[in-house]
Amino acid sequence: MSSQSPSISFEIFPPNPAVGNEKIMVALKEMQDLAPHFISVTASNNKFNIEETTVRLADFIRNDLHIPTIAHLPAVYLTKEMVTETLTALDKVGVHKVLALRGDILPDVEPQKDFVYATDLIEYIKKEAPHFEIVGACYPEGHPDSPNQISDIQNLKKKVDAGCSSLLTQLFFDNESFYDFQDKCILAGIEVPIHAGIMPILNRNQALRLLKTCENIYLPRKFCSILDKYEHDPESLRAAGLAYAIDQIVDLVTQDVAGVHLYTMNNSDTAHQIYQATHTFFDK
Ligand code: FAD
């Protein structure tokens, strides 16, 4: 058994710029006393300007809250010049860690040609801005574009070899699929820490959205029963969703996971409740 405690980190997403950042800044301040190892900030793939959204919040997290931060950077709709501009903006605010992503290919929008895969972006950052630390995304149950998990893990190996220091997973509800994935990564020679993405289900709309967009994610019977039983009982659905996430985390830490990355959905109450139930497990 590893004697090292795992890390706990949070993910937030920038609101639509028309809405403004006031609410998310309040939520972030409320998360500050939990002292997460880092907070990652998602980025729009094609819709919003990354500097006005992601970079601005990453700046706030690093420089006002003094919490390490990771800026997500999906590049399939960016040119090399645009990536360089974003890296320069991050440099200016002292954020030097990015989650290098391809981004989803949208059905009606032609991608740019510079970054076909995340690996292309990683190679570009390594060349243009080698002082940046790079994290990659991974998919315990396979990426939806992949014909099978073996080719997905072979591609992941190329991505890590291009220069990722760690990986963050897509959310999952079945820990066994995560353990199986970890074992296959080790066999493939992938040795960087893998942080497990956990999303507590807190309401019916969130659950419905998730079921629509994550068709490759296995939903265990225990999880489906929660959704069925408490479909019309928001309070119980929230309590059961939190309990399910906490149960997943307890299991992960006892199996020596490198880190837990909590998809907070910008909700500081969720972060607090999960932290309160699990904080003794995490590295201080
Ligand atoms: P890649 O690593 O490029 O993989 C995409 C597909 O191509 C996979 O099927 C892979 O097997 C295959 N592939 C990779 N390399 C090769 C190769 N050399 N040859 C052939 N096939 C290859 N999206 C956003 O828009 N904004 C975000 O902020 C965001 N945050 C995310 C955070 C996490 C933790 C995760 C897991 C995903 C996130 N995403 C985000 C979604 C992500 O952009 C999509 O899942 C996207 O479809 C894939 O991005 P990737 O970087 O994993 O792609």
236 CB-near residues (< 8 Å, 6+ apart): 229, 230
**Would you state the pLDDT for residue 2?**
53
Instruction: Quote the percentage of the chain above a pLDDT of 90.
Output: 90
Ligand 1 centroid distance, CA of 145 (Å): 9
Whether the per-residue pLDDT at 1 is higher than 60: the answer is no
- What angle, rounded to 10 degrees, do the helices at 149-163 and 118-128 form? 0
Q: Note whether 70 and 136 are within 8 A (CB).
A: no
Which of 47, 53, 101, 168 to mutate for ligand 1's pocket (most ligand atoms within 8 Å of CB)?
Answer: 101
Query: Which atom of ligand 1 is nearest the CA belonging to 54?
Result: 28
**Would you state the pLDDT for residue 205?**
86
Domain boundaries, the chain: 7-281
Reported confidence tier of residue 62, pLDDT bands at 50, 70, 90: very high
The rounded mean pLDDT for the chain is: 95
Which of 117, 121, 160 to mutate for ligand 1's pocket (most ligand atoms within 8 Å of CB)?
Answer: 117
Taking residues 83-112, report their average pLDDT.
96
Instruction: Quote the percentage of the chain above a pLDDT of 70.
Output: 99
Indicate if 128 belongs to the active site: no
pLDDT per residue as tens digits for the range 27-52? 999 999 999 999 999 999 988 899 99
| Architecture, CATH, for domain 7-281 | Alpha-Beta Barrel (3.20)
Taking residues 113-132, report their average pLDDT.
98
pLDDT per residue as tens digits for the range 160-170? 999 999 999 99
Q: What angle do CA 157, 139, 256 make, to 5 degrees?
A: 85
**Would you state the pLDDT for residue 3?**
58
Query: Which atom of ligand 1 is nearest the CA belonging to 101?
Result: 51
pLDDT per residue as tens digits for the range 161-214? 999 999 999 999 999 999 999 999 999 999 999 999 999 999 888 888 887 787
Query: Which atom of ligand 1 is nearest the CA belonging to 43?
Result: 28
Taking residues 155-159, report their average pLDDT.
98
For 104, phi then psi, to 5°, come to: -75, 145
Sign of CA dihedral 5, 122, 40, 69: positive
Ligand 1 centroid distance, CA of 104 (Å): 7
